[in-house]
A and B are shown apart, each in its own frame.
Chain A
Amino acid sequence: MDVAEHRSPFAGRPARSLRVEPAWLVIGAAVALVALLTLVPLAFLLWQSVRTPEWAGGAARTTLDNYLTAYGTGATARLLGNSLRYATGSALCAFAIGTVLAWMNERTNTPGRRLFFALSLVPLVVPGILFVVAWIFLGSPRIGLVNVALRALLGTDRTFVDVYSMAGMVIVDGLHQSPIAFLLMGAAFRSMDPALEESALMSGASRLAVAARITFRLAWPAALATLLVLFVRALESFEAPALLGLPAGLPVFTSAIYAAVHRYPSDVGLASAYGVTLLVITALGVWACARLSDSGSRYATVTGKGFRPRPLDLGRWRLVAAALFAGYFVLVVGLPLAVLLWSSFQPFYAVPSLAALSTMTLEPYRTVLAYPALGTAVVNSLVLAVATATIVMALTAAVGWMVVRARLRHRALVDHLASLPLAFPGLVLGLAILVFYLNVDIGVYGTLWILLIAYVTRFLPFGMRASTAAMVQVHRELEESAAMSGAAWLATFRHVVIPLLKPGLLAGWVYIAIVSVRELSSSILLYSPGREVVSVVIWELWENGQQVELAAVGVLLIGALLAAVGLAQWAGARLQAARIA
């Protein structure tokens, strides 16, 4: 009998034994799946970008034409310029808003900040397309509520805001991304050792000097990392560029890819060339982020101590700060939701007025509830959300265990592999998967499976973060003591690892389910008629000019998502309480 080589997850070097431990079967399968999901689309995207289409008169051949087309004209320079301007602007906008709010929330005594903290996370739940549409209702030069209201108020016919511009794109996307900056910077401020600030106070520095010279300096690595994250996310974002940028003649990479696929005949090769370019930029950004967080650890300001420093007393400025909070809330939650709600009760889009008040109707809701595609789309979205979240969390629990626990030489590689989709803009990933399953016909094209594959790939990194973060908190000895108690690997995993990880895995599950429902940029390239998801239905309604129906669907969707988040929070609190009691 041959002696099989295997490695024990508890030790670093290979040894020979007749048994293959079940740990390696499970983990091996998971790693293989991750590799398949992440590397295959990447390879095909690269391959496709150097091919001509098969039906363009003759067999496909390998060529650099796509790149020549892409780079041969000044259009690409403009595309690159637009993309960079847009991404930089959006990142700076989101960062400025998020950082000020985070500082006020974590380090000052602004009244009502706890409430605002909870409320300002609402935009994270609102799908990007609804946020952008709401801002079109508000800021379009012709029908925009803000313009109409100001015109009536001031008696002019000037246009005050125009969302169909670079500034409009930057501000709308920046507002939508600002909660991310708020969360990341808030975490940075929160995890800072208060002794660092207090010792500056004891040295005689004023509170504002402490904020400027200690707090913000210490937050600098976090700030840089946050800016990079925002920049990459803005580069990948699709909704604002497509809905605001394309009508204004301001294409960026994502909208250009979409346009290339959706023109007739569609030019997948050109789209792939754009996709590869965008991928290179985002990959550089993600790589820089990773480098930064590595070198940032020397700033290690996190101490496990739980006490909070005395917040900065703003004095009379407290009210100004509270007003800033309130104003922010109005801009990102109040106005957009209000305008959607208003529109959803109108027979056709109208600016709020007394006359319009009298025409209020439930007609849009009746229309959308009878809309044939909507029911299917809701079911599809739910099925995809549950399946994606379950698969991703199961996969990343196994892979995450391997990255955190098993002492293998190449475990970091596995982590990078699972994080690879971070660099894939949703649209590029959609394109890559589209290209792959068009060429490799295994019957998934045109079904929900292709969406499931895209979602699982896209949200793998999120699951990875949730799983590894949960796992790092579980002391290694908790597992080793199970092994010493005679439990085999599977028993240890079932009785010790999974129960301890449950809250973390559950939180990851809920998050992935929610982002799956919101997902648009991959779905938009991969859906086929009868296989729509909710976000695609919203997109179609917009394309068809059915604004009030869109608003009705939006209101229902946001309501359902908020209810789901509330339910998850309640369940999480119950779970936590049950563990402490």
Chain B
Amino acid sequence: MLSVAGLCTDYADARGTPVRAVRNVAFDVPQGSLFTLLGPSGCGKTTTLRSIAGLERPRAGEVAADGVVVYSSARRVFVPPNRRGFGMVFQSYAIWPHMDVFGNASFPLRAGRTPVPRAAVRDKVMRVLAAVGLDALADRPATRLSGGQQQRLALARALVMEPRLLLLDEPLSNLDAKLRERMRFELKRLQRELGITTVYVTHDQGEALALSDMIGVMNDGQVVQVGTPRAIYERPATRFVADFVGTTNFVVGRVVAHDDVRPGHVRVDTEIGPLCAYAGDVLAPGDAVLLSIRPEDVELVAADRRGDNVRHGVVDQHVFLGEATDVHVKVGERVLLARAHPRVAAQVGAAIGLALDPAKCVALKAAREPSAVA
């Protein structure tokens, strides 16, 4: 439905020097799905979103929604933001303080190029306010709304004109933790019910994993991996993705050979001993690699267990987190983190075994950040 291709956007910083914020970004979002741009601050995700909105003018590339090209450098097309018919929720919510709730929510219907009849305005606005649970507050001045209510009003305003595309710029980042969790699911429910194609920007990986149909991870102005939340988490394409999304153990090693038994796997000589790992890149014997192993995939076993991909160490530290327990295990000079069920009680100083599922150890070519896997 939304298709972004070869998008490059610069912007001038405070001193007027152009900054290359977004380079060669491309992705497609199917009709009705929620696509998340995930990345650390300054990675260009918001600039990408604003380029789709038309609030930034890209230097090159093409943006099309529903087959309608809204920006194309090759064809010299730039549809201004107010003609794109996209809804957007801003990080600050941008609720107009000089209007009441109804005034804010009805603005898109009143200010657009095709004015909606009065009766229809009231009808549509009340319906969308009801959908976000603000219908009882329609006459309240916008300045007297709580953070969560402002967020919902911003959403209502973005939805009232039944946009083709909904753009969300870190809509939950200004809420406190509990409210954020609740709004996360409310947002997802609303998006599902309306079946509206959505692009969501966040730096919160938990939010991205919970909400998205697809995630595009961005770093340094480029999309480094596009995939389902599960693929992003379990099969990170680069060291950056493995590190940014979730917690991980990195183990350095060198490829010895392709595995005969498991296709797509390699045998690696690592700093903690020989391991079999899933090949996340095209690898050849002799390649220096980095293994990413999630803490929850490090299984704690009895010290006397032997086998493939079982290593041995000594419990170094034991941190109780409530819903889980973190066990730091020293294997040689390396400390590996294992996340276990809180009932696991490991004695500090005790010998312990670590069983590592080969499919969950992802081998990535070291010292190379593949560019734009998308």
Residues of A that sit less than 8 Å from B by CB: 8, 10-13, 15-17, 21, 407, 409, 412, 475, 477-478, 480-489, 491-492, 495-496, 499-500, 579-581
Selected from B12, B76, B78, B87, the residue in CB contact (under 8 A) with A484 is B87
Do B98 and A483 touch across chains, with their CB atoms under 8 A apart?
no
> B27 contacts the other chain (Cβ, under 8 Å)?
no
Q: What 5 A-B pairs are tightest by C-beta distance, nearest first?
A: A11-B57, A486-B112, A485-B108, A487-B111, A477-B94
Considering the complex, which residues of chain B in the window 3-31 have a beta carbon less than 8 Å from any beta carbon of chain A?
10-12, 16, 18
Closest to B80 in A: A8
Do A12 and B98 touch across chains, with their CB atoms under 8 A apart?
no
Q: Nearest chain A CB to B355's CB is how many angstroms away?
A: 51
A213 and B85 alpha carbons, distance in the complex (Å):
58
Known interface pairs A477-B94, A478-B96, A483-B55. Does A15 touch B112 (Cβ–Cβ under 8 Å)?
Answer: no
A486 and B161 alpha carbons, distance in the complex (Å):
9
For B76-88 the 0/1 string (1 means CB < 8 A from A) is 1010111101111
Do A12 and B82 touch across chains, with their CB atoms under 8 A apart?
no
Considering the complex, which residues of chain B in the window 76-131 have a beta carbon less than 8 Å from any beta carbon of chain A?
76, 78, 80-83, 85-88, 90-94, 96-98, 107-108, 111-113
Do B16 and A409 touch across chains, with their CB atoms under 8 A apart?
yes
Do A477 and B91 touch across chains, with their CB atoms under 8 A apart?
yes
Q: Nearest chain A CB to B181's CB is how many angstroms away?
A: 24
Contacts of B93 in A (CB 8 A): 477
Please classify how large the interface on chain B is, using the bins under 10, 10 to 19, 20 to 34, 35 or more. 35 or more
Do A488 and B113 touch across chains, with their CB atoms under 8 A apart?
yes
A11 and B59 alpha carbons, distance in the complex (Å):
10
Known interface pairs A12-B12, A491-B111. Does A483 touch B57 (Cβ–Cβ under 8 Å)?
Answer: no
> B157 contacts the other chain (Cβ, under 8 Å)?
yes
Known interface pairs A13-B57, A477-B91. Does A484 touch B98 (Cβ–Cβ under 8 Å)?
Answer: no
Known interface pairs A484-B82, A484-B86, A486-B111. Does A15 touch B76 (Cβ–Cβ under 8 Å)?
Answer: yes
> B41 contacts the other chain (Cβ, under 8 Å)?
no
A21 and B161 alpha carbons, distance in the complex (Å):
24
Contacts of A12 in B (CB 8 A): 10-12, 18, 57
Do B111 and A475 touch across chains, with their CB atoms under 8 A apart?
no
Do A478 and B12 touch across chains, with their CB atoms under 8 A apart?
no
Closest to B144 in A: A580
Do A488 and B82 touch across chains, with their CB atoms under 8 A apart?
yes
Q: Nearest chain B CB to A12's CB is how many angstroms away?
A: 5
Q: Nearest chain B CB to A8's CB is how many angstroms away?
A: 6
A492 and B55 alpha carbons, distance in the complex (Å):
14
A477 and B170 alpha carbons, distance in the complex (Å):
13
Interface centre among A12, A485, A495, A580 (most CB of B within 10 A): A485
Q: Nearest chain A CB to B51's CB is how many angstroms away?
A: 9
Closest to B9 in A: A11
Do B97 and A10 touch across chains, with their CB atoms under 8 A apart?
no
A495 and B111 alpha carbons, distance in the complex (Å):
9
Do B143 and A17 touch across chains, with their CB atoms under 8 A apart?
no
For B123-167 the 0/1 string (1 means CB < 8 A from A) is 000000000000000000101000000000010011001000001
Do B78 and A17 touch across chains, with their CB atoms under 8 A apart?
yes
> B54 contacts the other chain (Cβ, under 8 Å)?
yes
Residues of B that sit less than 8 Å from A by CB: 10-12, 16, 18, 53-57, 59, 76, 78, 80-83, 85-88, 90-94, 96-98, 107-108, 111-113, 141, 143, 154, 157-158, 161, 167
A456 and B56 alpha carbons, distance in the complex (Å):
35
Contacts of A15 in B (CB 8 A): 57, 76, 78
Contacts of B56 in A (CB 8 A): 10-11
Selected from A21, A412, A579, the residue in CB contact (under 8 A) with B98 is A579
Do B57 and A496 touch across chains, with their CB atoms under 8 A apart?
no
Q: Nearest chain B CB to A504's CB is how many angstroms away?
A: 13
Interface centre among A21, A478, A581 (most CB of B within 10 A): A478
Contacts of A487 in B (CB 8 A): 82, 107-108, 111-112
Q: Nearest chain A CB to B46's CB is how many angstroms away?
A: 11
Contacts of A8 in B (CB 8 A): 57, 78, 80
A485 and B10 alpha carbons, distance in the complex (Å):
25
Q: Nearest chain A CB to B198's CB is how many angstroms away?
A: 14
Contacts of A491 in B (CB 8 A): 111
Do B55 and A485 touch across chains, with their CB atoms under 8 A apart?
no
Closest to A412 in B: B16
A477 and B169 alpha carbons, distance in the complex (Å):
11
20 CB contacts below 8 A, A to B, read A10-B56, A10-B57, A10-B80, A21-B80, A409-B12, A412-B16, A475-B94, A480-B53, A480-B55, A480-B88, A482-B82, A482-B111, A483-B80, A485-B82, A485-B161, A486-B83, A488-B82, A495-B107, A495-B111, A579-B98
Do A580 and B143 touch across chains, with their CB atoms under 8 A apart?
yes
Q: Nearest chain A CB to B165's CB is how many angstroms away?
A: 11
Selected from A11, A17, A407, A486, the residue in CB contact (under 8 A) with B113 is A486
Do B78 and A485 touch across chains, with their CB atoms under 8 A apart?
no
Closest to A485 in B: B108
Q: Nearest chain B CB to A485's CB is how many angstroms away?
A: 4
Q: Nearest chain B CB to A23's CB is how many angstroms away?
A: 10
A579 and B90 alpha carbons, distance in the complex (Å):
23
A483 and B161 alpha carbons, distance in the complex (Å):
13
Selected from A407, A412, A481, A500, the residue in CB contact (under 8 A) with B88 is A481
Closest to A494 in B: B111
Closest to B71 in A: A15
Q: Nearest chain A CB to B78's CB is how many angstroms away?
A: 5
Do A407 and B12 touch across chains, with their CB atoms under 8 A apart?
yes
Contacts of A485 in B (CB 8 A): 82, 107-108, 111-112, 157, 161
Q: Nearest chain B CB to A68's CB is how many angstroms away?
A: 43
Contacts of B54 in A (CB 8 A): 10, 483
Contacts of A481 in B (CB 8 A): 88, 90, 94, 96, 154, 157
Do B98 and A499 touch across chains, with their CB atoms under 8 A apart?
yes
Selected from B81, B87, B141, the residue in CB contact (under 8 A) with A480 is B81
Known interface pairs A480-B81, A483-B55. Does A500 touch B97 (Cβ–Cβ under 8 Å)?
Answer: yes
Contacts of A17 in B (CB 8 A): 76, 78
Contacts of B154 in A (CB 8 A): 481
Selected from A484, A492, A500, A580, the residue in CB contact (under 8 A) with B53 is A484
Contacts of B141 in A (CB 8 A): 581
Q: Nearest chain A CB to B139's CB is how many angstroms away?
A: 13
Q: Nearest chain B CB to A293's CB is how many angstroms away?
A: 15
Contacts of A486 in B (CB 8 A): 82-83, 85, 108, 111-113, 161
A487 and B161 alpha carbons, distance in the complex (Å):
12
Q: Nearest chain A CB to B270's CB is how many angstroms away?
A: 49
A12 and B154 alpha carbons, distance in the complex (Å):
27
Contacts of A499 in B (CB 8 A): 96, 98
A10 and B84 alpha carbons, distance in the complex (Å):
14
Q: Nearest chain B CB to A59's CB is how many angstroms away?
A: 47
Do B97 and A579 touch across chains, with their CB atoms under 8 A apart?
yes
Closest to A491 in B: B111
A486 and B157 alpha carbons, distance in the complex (Å):
11
Contacts of A580 in B (CB 8 A): 143
Closest to B81 in A: A483
Do A500 and B91 touch across chains, with their CB atoms under 8 A apart?
no
A499 and B154 alpha carbons, distance in the complex (Å):
19
A93 and B91 alpha carbons, distance in the complex (Å):
49
A484 and B104 alpha carbons, distance in the complex (Å):
13
Q: Nearest chain A CB to B340's CB is how many angstroms away?
A: 43
A429 and B326 alpha carbons, distance in the complex (Å):
75
Q: Nearest chain A CB to B75's CB is how many angstroms away?
A: 11
A13 and B10 alpha carbons, distance in the complex (Å):
9
Contacts of A482 in B (CB 8 A): 82, 96, 107, 111
A481 and B141 alpha carbons, distance in the complex (Å):
18
Selected from B16, B81, B87, the residue in CB contact (under 8 A) with A10 is B81
Closest to A16 in B: B76
A409 and B18 alpha carbons, distance in the complex (Å):
10
Interface centre among B16, B87, B157 (most CB of A within 10 A): B16
A75 and B113 alpha carbons, distance in the complex (Å):
69
A579 and B100 alpha carbons, distance in the complex (Å):
10
Do A484 and B92 touch across chains, with their CB atoms under 8 A apart?
no
Do B59 and A13 touch across chains, with their CB atoms under 8 A apart?
yes
Contacts of A483 in B (CB 8 A): 54-55, 80-82
